[in-house]
Structure 1
């Protein structure tokens, strides 16, 4: 798809976005009414060389959803040169929302299909209704394209099957991203994990034929305004280990790398957004399999910071990987302003917040407010779950410092976050947030401008946080 800013009149089809029929001429009104088109959200109606798209409101998310419906319809047609016209007078020209609706809404994963979709459409957007000068819009267009490309890169990574995307594939992808975006990238294998007492992460991956990888990406602008650390869970596949998942539970477990993939996606567009902060991305790429040397329930593991962990469930493995990665980040990087971790950690957050919302947990109310602001501007949904003084006892162990799981499902998203809290240094408690993205990271249906499968959850949220 080729998207350009222009007021050209050389097009095959014109798109009209409307929230009612008032701005249509008499002939259009009659035809649309006869076709029962009421300009409702999701309604798309073709009249000659004009495509009418309904929108309930003219807010950011409404525009994105409207254009995702538009491009899905257009992809089934032979129209190639398309002009976008916004009819509503009270609509402030929002180029970013139009671009995100078009690109994110048109995504499909066809790598393994014999028949592939090649999008040759040329989209011309008329910026006449904008209060911004052309140069500003051109910058906004390029920025929006870069962010969408990063989101779709993450979708591709997460959707790729585990046989084709394993820990060393992730490290290769990280090196490729680093090369294209002027990032530093260091990759460490299992010998490094053993020598640096990262026994929790090492234990999770030791039964796999694929070596675990610790990946450290760094973005360092010349005059940094601060330092931010992003840590991602990268389980390229999770069988559950010896606490084996049921067959149905293993389907889609390629999505367990969504946290690390999101971090990789964020790192890939820092240069494009001209980020003024030093940003570090720490990815724990591991495959959790079964075998004679698999770690076992009842094992006691010692993490990098010396805390001993009683393993009660080998399917609570992501927090073990994150524990060592969080310790590594805090030992390696000084003067951290913020530290965020991302993981498809618990199914409980889907029960608590629904399928579409990221769960956010941490100690700082001020930091949560900043994330809430970024959520509103980016369109990603967040819900905040509270800590309390009674839940930490649920992860208490009689034989070690802490247990990696509880016998109760009650508050499981919170207790998983409290487990991670044990690996956050005292001086960083108020700087840390945990993002459980198990709900929105991967869904087996189309929703809004998100496709079947991976969505790239977390990328736009943190990019908007950084921009603000």
Structure 2
């Protein structure tokens, strides 16, 4: 695991295997970004010229290596692109991505120093977090030397001498980054190793480690409690379902947040079997539960003055002789009945039970997170998640929170006219399917039916950004990404600081 630290040492005097600097596209050519002054001096003012000769343009995602000049304690200089030159400072997201590119490029290096723009605590944290996320490697199933190890240590260089907030920034980046990487591990784990029972055991172990209260409802407790949605989805699998509660409380908290995560550890579609080519990545259908779990642990590690309860609705959706059939009616937790028209619309069923249970504890806000619909991917692409809510202010707040955290999101409506298709079941209160067009919004409307009166609720559909199948970019690896965790943690921080919950 990559270690993070901060130093006020000069880039010229710090001993490291590599020095990372930022470069950008200027109006007249390549520009060296702030933070690399000592490196530029060692190249006698010709650093930009040398890099340009090597093909550097400053474009985002670019990485160009060159031997260090005399006077530098490092053997290698790595220039990473920040994009267009900024007159009023580079965005935090550009720093995160540049640091991520550097960490990926320097895999196998023991120690690297980030001489990127880091004049503020926010910039220090951005560089540190991007570097930690970019260094992520999942190698649980690879034997031998099948890949380079992550960077051993990343040192963020800054001139904020004697500043306590610099150290605090790195500590926050470490806590959040490590939990995001924990969630990535969970998403990437093969479904024969991660099932509802083993996921629950991981949550219990983390609870003991971090002092969190963890409660697990097994299949017997779920049956006794009447959790028809979770049971209906999991009944076709040899791995029975679980509902896991992970609770963090703070003695000075004035608000309580409930985060609910969809945890389908493998989704075959059930009897409504997915077509060939759509099953191979369905281990990622528990990314919402992983995000919720990681966010609660991060809130505890950061000591936030807010109560945060995570609900992990865990099931494996499989076809078998005992599986729920299209046409079956489930009695959900809380009493509502749902006619199942498509067993591949299962995430909303497990979430509905968990939302009702979460609402019984009267939180100020419920936020559910789920890889819920392919329709949301069609609407927003692979890098943006949708935000829906029963409260316009909350929807806008979460959209702004995600933006501030560096995660792409987009506010989506819940049109009342789309509700009709779900309520036309002739034998149950609701159907789990409605109109085909606007399917992501229909799913949100379904969930809204299970939110208790008077509770603000939001739904994050992370189906697009939760699992990345293309080449790595910035700090984003191939596979599980940890989508929505930064948004949830920042939302908890805002609430703890007195922001509207």
TM-score exceeds 0.5: yes
Of 143, 146, 157 in structure 2, the residue corresponding to residue 126 of structure 1 is 157
**C-alpha contact (below 8 Å) 1:110/1:117 kept by paired residues:** no
Unpaired stretches in structure 1, ≥5 consecutive residues:
none
For these two proteins, the number of residue pairs brought into alignment is 458
Of 286, 300, 303 in structure 1, the residue corresponding to residue 329 of structure 2 is 300
Q: Does 1:379 align with 2:406?
A: yes
Of 96, 105, 108 in structure 2, the residue corresponding to residue 64 of structure 1 is 96
Tell me the equivalent position of 1:32.
51
Deviation digits for residues 421-459 of structure 1 (CA, Å, limit 9, x no counterpart): 11111222xx10011110111120223321111101111
Tell me the equivalent position of 1:225.
254
Of 11, 15, 26 in structure 2, the residue corresponding to residue 10 of structure 1 is 15
SS for the counterpart of 1:440 is: coil
Tell me the equivalent position of 1:260.
289
SS for the counterpart of 2:489 is: helix
Tell me the equivalent position of 1:460.
486
Q: Does 1:211 align with 2:240?
A: yes
Distance of aligned partners of 1:10 and 1:394 in 2 relative to their CA distance in 1, 3 Å threshold? same
SS for the counterpart of 1:456 is: coil
Deviation digits for residues 63-89 of structure 1 (CA, Å, limit 9, x no counterpart): 11111111121116xx53333223x69
Q: Does 1:83 align with 2:113?
A: yes
Deviation for aligned residue 1:300: 1.1
Q: TM-score, normalised by structure 2?
A: 0.88
CA distance in 2, matches of 1:5, 1:64: 15
Pairing of 1:325-364 with structure 2 (within 5 A)? 325-331=354-360, 333-334=361-362, 336-364=363-391
CA distance in 2, matches of 1:437, 1:289: 22
Of 420, 439, 461 in structure 2, the residue corresponding to residue 436 of structure 1 is 461
CA distance in 1, matches of 2:334, 2:310: 20
Q: TM-score, normalised by structure 1?
A: 0.94
Deviation digits for residues 145-171 of structure 1 (CA, Å, limit 9, x no counterpart): 010000000000011011000000111
Q: Does 1:73 align with 2:105?
A: yes
CA distance in 1, matches of 2:477, 2:151: 20
Deviation for aligned residue 1:372: 2.2
Pairing of 1:85-100 with structure 2 (within 5 A)? 85-86=115-116, 94-100=123-129
Of 416, 420, 426 in structure 1, the residue corresponding to residue 447 of structure 2 is 420
**C-alpha contact (below 8 Å) 2:135/2:150 kept by paired residues:** no
Distance of aligned partners of 1:32 and 1:271 in 2 relative to their CA distance in 1, 3 Å threshold? same
Unpaired stretches in structure 2, ≥5 consecutive residues:
33-39, 69-76, 495-501
CA distance in 2, matches of 1:200, 1:271: 30
Deviation digits for residues 228-285 of structure 1 (CA, Å, limit 9, x no counterpart): 1111111011111111111211110000101111111011111221111111111111
Deviation for aligned residue 1:54: 2.0
Deviation for aligned residue 1:205: 0.6
SS for the counterpart of 1:270 is: helix
CA distance in 2, matches of 1:48, 1:186: 55
SS for the counterpart of 1:427 is: coil
Pairing of 1:156-235 with structure 2 (within 5 A)? 156-235=185-264
Deviation digits for residues 368-396 of structure 1 (CA, Å, limit 9, x no counterpart): 22212211221011111112221111112
**C-alpha contact (below 8 Å) 1:64/1:100 kept by paired residues:** yes
Deviation for aligned residue 1:120: 5.3
CA distance in 2, matches of 1:319, 1:36: 50
Deviation for aligned residue 1:291: 1.2
CA distance in 2, matches of 1:309, 1:120: 50
Tell me the equivalent position of 1:404.
432
Deviation digits for residues 5-40 of structure 1 (CA, Å, limit 9, x no counterpart): 221522333222122544554433332222221222
- CA RMSD in angstroms comes to 1.8
Distance of aligned partners of 1:280 and 1:122 in 2 relative to their CA distance in 1, 3 Å threshold? closer
**C-alpha contact (below 8 Å) 1:212/1:285 kept by paired residues:** yes
SS for the counterpart of 1:398 is: coil
Distance of aligned partners of 1:96 and 1:356 in 2 relative to their CA distance in 1, 3 Å threshold? same
Tell me the equivalent position of 2:350.
321
Of 150, 153, 157 in structure 1, the residue corresponding to residue 182 of structure 2 is 153
Distance of aligned partners of 1:276 and 1:68 in 2 relative to their CA distance in 1, 3 Å threshold? same
Q: Does 1:389 align with 2:413?
A: no
